[in-house]
Amino acid sequence: MTSEAAPAGAPAERVHLRRLVLIWALLTVVGVLLIVFVAGPHMPPGNFSVQARDQRHINILLAALAVPVLFAVWTCLVYIFSSFRQRGEELVDGPPDKGRAGLQIAWVIATAVIVLALAALGTDELLGSAKGAGGGQGPSPLVVPAGQKLQVQVIGQQWAWTFRYPAYGGVETPELALPAGQTAELHVTSLDVAHSFWAIQLGVKADAIPGSDNVTFVDPRHTGSFEIRCAELCGLWHGHMHNTGVVMTPAAFASWISRQQALNAPATKTLPPYSTHYFPDPVRRAG
Measured in residues, the chain has a length of: 287
Whether 4 shows a pLDDT value over 70: the answer reads no
Range 47-70 burial, b when 16+ CB lie within 10 A, else e: ebbbbbbbbbebbbbebbeebbee
CA angle 213, 219, 224 (to 5 degrees): 110
224 touches 251 (CB < 8 A): no
* Structure-model confidence comparison of residues 283 and 174, the more confident one: 174
* Structure-model confidence comparison of residues 243 and 125, the more confident one: 243
In this predicted structure, what is the pLDDT of residue 231?
92
In this predicted structure, what is the pLDDT of residue 98?
75
* Structure-model confidence comparison of residues 94 and 74, the more confident one: 74
Average pLDDT, the chain: 86
In this predicted structure, what is the pLDDT of residue 245?
94
The mean per-residue pLDDT over the stretch 10-27 comes to 85
* Structure-model confidence comparison of residues 248 and 94, the more confident one: 248
The model's pTM? 0.77
Amino acid at residue number 189 = T
